A and B are shown apart, each in its own frame.
Chain A
Amino acid sequence: MTGQGFTVITVALDKTAEDARPWIEKAQPTHPALIDTRHVLADLYNVVNVPTIFWIDERGRIVRPNDVAFGTDTFKHITGLESARHLAALRAWVSGRTPAPGADEVRRQQPLPSAEDQQARAEFGLGQWLWAQGRPAAAERHFVRGGELAPHDFTIRRGTMPMRGIDPMGPQFREMLQSWVGAGRPYYRPLPDTAGTKEN
């Protein structure tokens, strides 16, 4: 689909470029594949987990906010999400066959950050700076505090595990995942499929 009228931009919320490098080099993308060690995107777009996707139109407007979609079916057994569904909706929007959701729809679906969310992100920011300065013990305090302030924010709680010597696939992650599932999967869920499903 990439061409004059469309591009993908990927942003890796990783601790260093080297963590993301093997995936990017394997994919050999023709689109921008960016590295975000400071979680600038999470801060500006209220991203609480990955993957999170957005559609942005020609005028720079968000027409599909904070949606959960996968490029493959690798995690389908956990998420129940089929990648084909989003891809079909995306193709229909890019080709102009179906319009993007209207402004009212987008407004209803756009999650907004609370003061606690932003305090948690500030704690992450301080922790990430301290970690990059070679002060991991001090960083740990702020990563923990950030996770306490925003327990639903996996970009903080899971995303900092590689900086803290914790396995991001290990028991601490599984416990986090289970409590999130037990709470009814809050904060991070696919949008009701309102865009690109109705053929005109």
Chain B
Amino acid sequence: MSTFTIIDGERAVAVPARVSGGRVVLEAAGLKDALGWEVHDGLLCNDAMCIPLADASALTRDDGVDLAAFAAALDRAVAVDVAERAAFLGGSAGERAQALASQQAPDFTLPDLAGRPHSLAEHRGKKILLVAWASW
């Protein structure tokens, strides 16, 4: 079995996987080792939580985990490139919308030109003008 690179935020991890009928099936043990999730007793679990699955059979296939069904169970977007054997796990629209609706500014950490990381949270207690811009 060859691998598929799963990109989750800044992390890119190789998970043993095969492509079957256009679907990406991750090896269950590999999913647990690489991303910390496993399916058991109709639940999708990591160290912190378990998510009940409406249809566990859609997720598990021949001892593997269907990537699209896995992302759907987490309510996360997933972009897949079968030829490049890579997939990007995106943010959940529901989670993003809930976070913004709460009006609490989502924290982030990004580098400056020197590569030094800065977090929004470091500036708590000040008023902030946050500006998204680009050279294009």
Name A's B-contacting residues (CB within 8 A).
Answer: 4-14, 17, 19-25, 32-36, 38, 40-47, 50-63, 65, 71, 90, 93-94, 103, 106-107, 110, 112-115, 117-119, 121-123, 125-127, 129-130, 135, 138, 141-142, 145, 155, 158-159, 161-162, 168
Of A12, A54, A107, A135, which contacts B105 at CB under 8 A? A54
- Across the A-B interface, give the 7 residue pairs with the lowest CB-CB distance, nearest first: A122-B90, A126-B88, A122-B77, A168-B136, A112-B97, A34-B110, A126-B79
A43 to B107, CA, bound (A): 12
Interface size class of B (residues with CB under 8 A): 35 or more
Q: What separation, in Å, do the CA atoms of A87 and B9 have in the docked complex?
A: 35
Q: Is B120 an interface residue (CB 8 A)?
A: yes
Closest to B111 in A: A35
| Stretch binding the partner chain, chosen from B26-34, B46-54, B126-134 | B126-134
* Inter-subunit contact B106/A44 (CB<8 Å): yes
A14 touches B136 (CB 8 A): yes
**Partner among A60, A123, A162 whose Cβ is within 8 Å of the Cβ of B104:** A60
Chain A nearest Cβ from B108, distance in angstroms: 5
CA distance A155 to B125 in the complex (A): 30
What are 10 A-B pairs at a CB distance below 8 A? A10-B131, A17-B113, A35-B110, A40-B108, A44-B108, A54-B129, A63-B103, A122-B89, A126-B80, A126-B81
* Extra 17 A-B pairs, beta carbons < 8 Å, given A24-B113, A57-B128, A62-B103: A9-B129, A34-B110, A34-B112, A40-B110, A43-B91, A44-B108, A51-B131, A56-B130, A58-B126, A60-B105, A60-B124, A110-B100, A117-B93, A125-B88, A126-B7, A126-B81, A127-B79
Residues of A within 8 A of B1 (CB): none
A22, B88: Cα distance in complex, Å: 31
Q: Contact: A118 with B106, CB < 8 Å? A: no
Cβ of B129 and Cβ of A90 under 8 Å apart?
Answer: yes
Which residues of B are found within 8 Å of A33, using beta-carbon distances?
112-113
- B contacts, CB < 8 Å to A: 7, 10, 12, 77-81, 83-84, 86-93, 96-97, 99-101, 103-106, 108, 110-113, 115, 118, 120-121, 123-136
Whether A41 contacts B134 by the Cβ 8 Å rule is no
Q: In the complex, which of the residues A24, A54, A121, A125 has the most CB atoms of chain B within 10 Å of its own CB atom?
A: A125
- Beyond A9-B129, A13-B133, A19-B135, is A118–B110 a contact (Cβ under 8 Å)? no
The reply to whether B100 and A11 form a contact with Cβ atoms under 8 Å apart is no
Q: A33-B112, A62-B103, A118-B92 given as contacts; is B121 within 8 A of A11 (CB)?
A: no
**Candidate in B88, B126, B129, B135 with the most chain A CB atoms within 10 angstroms:** B129
The answer for the CA separation of A149 and B88 in the assembled complex, in Å, is 16
Alpha-carbon gap, A84 to B124, bound state (A): 27
Please state if B135 and A20 are interface contacts (CB–CB under 8 Å): yes
Q: Output the least CB separation between A72 and chain B (Å).
A: 12
CB distance from B106 to the nearest CB of A (A): 4
